[in-house]
């Protein structure tokens, strides 16, 4: 009986995780952060992770189409994972504090990524990404190990980065946190683009950003125990 209950709880947990992932994937479209089949989402799930499937528009996606993978890159069960599964896998393996990853092709973040432009501390909310800038990883072919390696470098001590000529990645302790980071980074990218059209933005000093980062240690959501 105990084994049956454990199996039932595991099934319920799996279903809930899949539903939440699909819900967030759909919300990214609603918020205008992704369109069609662009972008992808992954969430840590025990000793495995779940990721959006390849080639299925978020609006049409069903929980049973979400793909499970292990950290050696093996697909568990049916389905074809997103072509970007490598950087999801590598980020989750390298960053145990991270539970969810969102990748978008959102308008303003992608525009800056196509300029290979790092976002400097023109606004104190840059701190939401964990540092005094939002780095831009050099371009590499989508789905490649090279892209994954470059992404890990750009995300060192960060919760977000741009991908050169590609898009944006946001990390979170869970899906809610990752979504909040993605929304804020896209808003910052929009503000930076507008500021650049008007003139040269004032850049906060290192000491000013350090003050903000210190405050951010107790700001917002915290990782779960």
Q: Could you list the active site residues?
A: 84
The CA distance from 126 to 197, in Å, is 19
CB of 169 closer than 8 Å to CB of 160: yes
DSSP letter at 201 equals P
Residue 120, token pair as written in the block: 């400097």
Which of 207, 212, 210, 204 minimizes the C-alpha distance to 120? 204
The CA distance from 51 to 88, in Å, is 8
Separation in Å, CA 155 to CA 11, 125, 161, 186? 33, 17, 6, 16
CB of 118 closer than 8 Å to CB of 135: yes
Residue 166, token pair as written in the block: 């590609």
Residue 190, token pair as written in the block: 């929009």
CB of 126 closer than 8 Å to CB of 119: yes
Q: Are strands 100-104 and 75-76 parallel, antiparallel or unpaired?
A: unpaired
DSSP letter at 202 equals P
């Amino acid at each position: 009986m105990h084994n049956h209950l454990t199996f039932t709880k595991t099934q319920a947990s799996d279903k809930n995780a899949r539903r939440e992932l699909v819900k967030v994937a759909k919300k990214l479209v609603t918020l205008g952060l992704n369109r069609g089949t662009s972008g992808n989402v992954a969430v840590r799930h025990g000793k495995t992770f779940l990721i959006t499937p390849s080639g299925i528009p978020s609006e049409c996606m069903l929980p049973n189409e979400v793909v499970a993978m292990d950290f050696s890159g093996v697909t568990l069960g049916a389905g074809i994972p997103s072509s970007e599964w490598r950087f999801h896998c590598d980020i989750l393996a390298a960053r145990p504090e991270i539970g969810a990853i969102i990748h978008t092709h959102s308008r303003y973040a992608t525009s800056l990524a196509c300029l290979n432009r790092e976002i400097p501390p023109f606004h104190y909310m840059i701190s939401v990404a964990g540092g005094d800038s939002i780095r831009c990883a050099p371009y590499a072919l989508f789905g490649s190990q090279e892209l994954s390696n470059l992404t890990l470098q750009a995300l060192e001590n960060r919760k977000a980065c741009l991908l050169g000529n590609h898009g944006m990645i946001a990390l979170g302790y869970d899906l809610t946190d990752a979504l909040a980071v993605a929304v804020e980074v896209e808003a910052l990218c929009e503000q930076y683009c507008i500021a650049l059209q008007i003139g040269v933005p004032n850049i906060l000093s290192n000491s000013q950003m350090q003050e903000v980062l210190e405050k951010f240690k107790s700001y917002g959501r915290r990782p779960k125990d």
